[in-house]
Amino acid sequence: MALLTFDSVDLGYGTQIVLPALTLTLEAGERVALLGQSGAGKSTLLAEIRRRLGKAAAWCPQGHGLVPLLSVYHNVYMGQLERHAALANLFNLLRPRRGAWQAIETLTHELGLEGLLRRPVEQLSGGQRQRVAIARAFYQQREIFLGDEPLASVDPHQALRLLERIQTRHSSSIIALHQHRLALAYFDRIIGLRDGHVVLDAPARELTLSQLDALYPDAGNSSHEDRAATTT
């Protein structure tokens, strides 16, 4: 069953077109990896997918989008902000709701953030912030997970564990990332973007590492993970 269909659509911001004449179909139940250099159009595509899916998709943005002054609990709670009345949200800032507290405590346990619930996000390490951002996306409790480089600031070992969690909790996932081995091993389908065009779209099992590396002509020998970290 098709989740989304783009039929020769121009995507961009305002009058600036980033992805011209995009044709693409995304299936429900698929695990899709989006690859491509910074500026290839991944974020534009994800933003449009997010807009079309609306409340069906959980969203984990690039650069986390966390609020440094608020605690881990409040940042995760923001995933369900729209489900409560304004006054309830206001009161929750002063005194956490019991049910939400317990649910979020379980979630953060699962992601290795135990004992940090009251800690302001500004005091966390980069990897911990990344996991808070993922916890917030989990807390939205949606069918589909949309992530713009949600694994950019964690080590390869953790990235693998987090990816497994993401995929067990969501029936579909569309994730932009830079880790090619992960993309090959843990996704059903890989879409490669370059300069606003889809230059690669195939089942992951049919692809090899060198085919993926060809998406990054400027990179030379530098590691993709390093560059991903500097862009976030």
Interacting residues with another protein (CB under 8 A): 54-55, 59, 61, 63-70, 74, 78-82, 84-86, 89-90, 93, 133, 136, 140
> Which is closer to another protein, CB of 37 or CB of 140?
140
Q: Considering the complex, what minimum distance in angstroms separates the CB of residue 88 from another protein? A: 9
Q: Considering the complex, what minimum distance in angstroms separates the CB of residue 138 from another protein? A: 13
> Which is closer to another protein, CB of 67 or CB of 214?
67
> Which is closer to another protein, CB of 68 or CB of 115?
68
Q: Considering the complex, what minimum distance in angstroms separates the CB of residue 134 from another protein? A: 12
Q: Considering the complex, what minimum distance in angstroms separates the CB of residue 199 from another protein? A: 28
> Which is closer to another protein, CB of 89 or CB of 211?
89
Contact 200, 211 (CB under 8 A): yes
> Which is closer to another protein, CB of 166 or CB of 207?
166
Q: Considering the complex, what minimum distance in angstroms separates the CB of residue 67 from another protein? A: 5
SS3 of the chain: CEEEEEEEEEEEECCEEEEEEEEEEEECCCEEEEECCCCCCHHHHHHHHHHHHHHHEEEECCCCCCCCCCEHHHHHHHHHHHHCCHHHHHHHHHCCCHHHHHHHHHHHHHCCCCCCCCCEHHHCCHHHHHHHHHHHHHHCCCCEEEEECCCCCCCHHHHHHHHHHHHHHCCEEEEECCCHHHHHHHCCEEEEEECCEEEEEEEHHHCCHHHHHCCCCCCCCCCHHHHHHHHC
